Structure 1
Amino acid sequence: MTQSPATPLPAPKERRRLREGRSLTQAEVATRLGVSRSTVRSWESGRSAPRGRMREAYTRLLMSDPSAARPEVTAPQEDVTPELVGAGTGGETPAGTGKKGSARVGRRPGRNRAEGRLAAGVPTEEWLVEDAHAGLSEPSLTPAQAFDALYAFCAPALVRQTYLLTGRRELARESVERAFQQAWYRWPEVAVDRDPAGWVRATAYEYALSPWHRLRPRYRHPEAPPAGAADRALLDVLLELPPVYRRTLLLFDGVGLGLPETAAETEASTPAAANRVLHAREAVAERLPELASPEDLHRRLTELASAERLRAAKPRTVRWHGERRAQQWTRAAIAFTVLLIGVTVLTLGTAPDHYEEPLAPPETIHGLPPKAAPGPLSAAELKLRARLRSQEMHGPERLIPESR
């Protein structure tokens, strides 16, 4: 479903001849498709071949008319086709979106051209270089327009992919919206990325597979399964796979990424990604033998994602919620900083400003007689007091009272 039968891929030697006939270098082809020069060299030598929508874009580039100065670019609108691979590799063009998926607009050629490049995954700085060489006078896309074009191209298919990854409809929509909100918050970084669609897809997958969702009350209970028995069986098999195997299988057999791109997005080596794909295919084929072929598996994944009526929010709504969330986080950070400063000032005002030596611990003294408690005199003490009172006073005159 990712390649049109009307545009077959030429032979390796024919690819080089077609490229040279269009006066293109390998570096220029790599730049237009968003891949490396070594990848184009491998395609022309026959060591490898593009897959998925990258194959379609490469074939169109080679088979296009070399006399055409600038082919007209279609501006992607709201994607309503049930394609699973709508948010594929960054070097892909939004081909196969159907009659309602694109519309030709002739009044603003500069905007159509920029939107087509964004949907094709061409980096933003390359738009500026190309427009500077062409001497264009049309105004470029604003950040909001570029974001809306990326959202319209990627969001519908990305919601379906995330649903296959999690099995939850609401979580799929929430993950895609959060990913695009982060993309809008970090738009200066995303706009110059070589693969903005891949950036958003990786962010959505990471959020969807977060283990913290199981602690949320709304996600403790399973959602209603698909209506068809075959769809339920396939979804159950996918959800039984480990998350990293499920993600690798979806990227390779569902989206149609190449093995190196799949390994890079899952942060694994190429052999590790290949082993994950093989083990995931074996697990699916063991439960569903009719899906042992990768082509059949890709077709069934697309049909399963298309069977659910999953709609993404409007790009303007996503941008508004993203800006509001950023404002809330900014206000929370400011409030926390003010609170921290207040606590610090209070601590400095009430804390002692000089050192006070602590008191020594008490020690017990031994050998002293116990202190006598007051009480009645004993017989010996009474006798001593009577004898002292009966004797005359002897001492200095100033101390002896005189009798009068």
Structure 2
Amino acid sequence: MPRRETTRHERARREMTGSEQAAAAFDDLHTRHAAALMRQTYLLTGRPWLARRAVQQGFRRAWQHWPQVAVDPDPAGWVRAAAYEYALTPWHRLCPGLRTARKPKRFHETGEPADRALLAALLRLPAPYRRALLLHDGVGLGLYETAAEIEASTPAAAGRLTHARERLAERLPELGLDGHPPVRQGEILRDRLTALTAAQQVTPTAAERVRSDAERSDLRTTRAAVGLAGGFALVAVVMMLVTPDHYTPPPDRPLATAPHAVVPRTGHRGAEVRKQGNAAVRKRLREARLAPDVR
């Protein structure tokens, strides 16, 4: 009986087209990881609506690049990196309605004061420190995987993680991080962050809607590219019609001629004229030397 059910399942799977298999794989990935990613992104931003939008954008990009994501060793990590990048984009700070909160303006009334204090301390950390701490101590990635995801060297990732833990220990002494080795500090923070994310009630966007939004976005991008190319082609055609197809030389203009130079006469009389001129010049020079004002 189990073999017959397996055979039916395999037969139904074979009957699915390639697009249907891709959609089913994407929906399965969304179902397993969307809620957890929303909780993590909320700790990263402090805004529930921004966390929802970032995760939706991450899965939308994953569907747009599904052939690449499908063969990735960690598809969930691919989506997580895309969602984190969107959530920490600097342009969110330019608009008052899109700014990343530094204080937890929204938190469930059922949340404990200690959880609210931990969330506030997390949001006061610089974004690179907060991301490294969340990936290593919250998600549970190794130091090498954390460095690869934040696109930093392993020593740089270790430095950010150490500084983040030190600042949390200073602001929240009740965490009990002081006096413990790094491994124990990671265990304490992992337990607290896990409890903090579990307290968040999230409702991810349906996978079908994410896929349809991604497809509409691709269609709009394609139409814009086609329209832009058509506009350039129209401009080129108009320029070809307006521009003459042959070269027309400019009208001929009379050339400007220089005035005839007066050539001094040569011969005996010309020599006399030059001699008289030289004598007059020498006379003026002697008078200038004898003038009282010059002396």
TM-score with structure 2 length normalisation? Answer: 0.71
Q: Answer whether contact 2:47 2:100 (CA < 8 A) is retained.
A: no
Alignment correspondent of 1:180? 59
Alignment correspondent of 2:267? none
* Residues 217, 286 of structure 1: alpha-carbon distance in 2 compared, 3 angstrom cutoff: closer
Query: Aligned-pair distance for 1:107?
Result: 4.3
Matches of 2:81 and 2:31, distance apart in 1 = 17
User: Residues 347-362 of structure 1 correspond to what in structure 2 (within 5 A)?
Assistant: 347-351=239-243, 354=247
Q: Answer whether contact 2:47 2:106 (CA < 8 A) is retained.
A: no
Q: Secondary structure at the match of 2:26?
A: helix
- Deviation per CA, 1:41-83, whole angstroms, max 9, x where unpaired? xxxxxxxxxxxxxxxxxxxxxxxxxxxxxxx9xxxxxxxxxxx
- Deviation per CA, 1:87-118, whole angstroms, max 9, x where unpaired? xxxxxxxxxxxxxxxxxxx945786xxxxxxx
Give the structure with the larger helix fraction.
2
* Residues 350, 270 of structure 1: alpha-carbon distance in 2 compared, 3 angstrom cutoff: same
Alignment correspondent of 2:32? 153
Gaps in structure 2 of 5+ consecutive residues: 178-184, 257-295
Please tell me the residue identity of whatever aligns with 1:207. Answer: Y
Matches of 1:319 and 1:304, distance apart in 2 = 30
User: Residues 323-342 of structure 1 correspond to what in structure 2 (within 5 A)?
Assistant: 323-342=215-234
State the number of aligned residues: 235
* Residues 155, 357 of structure 1: alpha-carbon distance in 2 compared, 3 angstrom cutoff: farther
Alignment correspondent of 2:13? 139
Please tell me the residue identity of whatever aligns with 1:179. Answer: G
Tell which deviates more after alignment, 140-149 or 227-236: 227-236
Query: Aligned-pair distance for 1:331?
Result: 1.1
Matches of 2:114 and 2:252, distance apart in 1 = 81
2:151 counterpart (267, 270, 278):
267
- Deviation per CA, 1:262-296, whole angstroms, max 9, x where unpaired? 11111111111111111110011110122213222
- Deviation per CA, 1:295-352, whole angstroms, max 9, x where unpaired? 2211221222222222101111111111111111111111111112112222333245
2:141 counterpart (233, 257, 260):
257
Please tell me the residue identity of whatever aligns with 1:149. Answer: D
User: Residues 19-38 of structure 1 correspond to what in structure 2 (within 5 A)?
Assistant: none
User: Residues 205-220 of structure 1 correspond to what in structure 2 (within 5 A)?
Assistant: 205-220=84-99
Q: Secondary structure at the match of 1:139?
A: helix
Alignment correspondent of 2:205? 313
Q: Answer whether contact 1:162 1:172 (CA < 8 A) is retained.
A: yes
User: Residues 1-400 of structure 1 correspond to what in structure 2 (within 5 A)?
Assistant: 107=5, 139=13, 142-220=21-99, 222=101, 224-226=105-107, 227=109, 228-291=112-175, 292=177, 293-351=185-243, 354=247
Q: Answer whether contact 2:58 2:80 (CA < 8 A) is retained.
A: yes
Please tell me the residue identity of whatever aligns with 1:314. Answer: A
> Percent of aligned positions with the same letter in both sequences?
51
Please tell me the residue identity of whatever aligns with 1:254. Answer: G
Q: Answer whether contact 2:92 2:100 (CA < 8 A) is retained.
A: no
Matches of 2:70 and 2:125, distance apart in 1 = 34
Please tell me the residue identity of whatever aligns with 1:139. Answer: R
Q: What RMSD, in angstroms, separates the aligned Cα atoms of the two structures?
A: 2.9
Gaps in structure 1 of 5+ consecutive residues: 1-71, 73-105, 112-135, 364-404
Q: Answer whether contact 1:254 1:298 (CA < 8 A) is retained.
A: yes
Matches of 2:35 and 2:63, distance apart in 1 = 17
TM-score with structure 1 length normalisation? Answer: 0.53
Q: Answer whether contact 2:56 2:210 (CA < 8 A) is retained.
A: yes
Q: Answer whether contact 1:225 1:232 (CA < 8 A) is retained.
A: no
Q: Answer whether contact 1:175 1:208 (CA < 8 A) is retained.
A: yes
Please tell me the residue identity of whatever aligns with 2:105. Answer: A
Q: Answer whether contact 2:133 2:161 (CA < 8 A) is retained.
A: yes
Q: Answer whether contact 2:46 2:105 (CA < 8 A) is retained.
A: no
Matches of 1:152 and 1:258, distance apart in 2 = 25
Please tell me the residue identity of whatever aligns with 1:342. Answer: L
Matches of 2:89 and 2:172, distance apart in 1 = 28
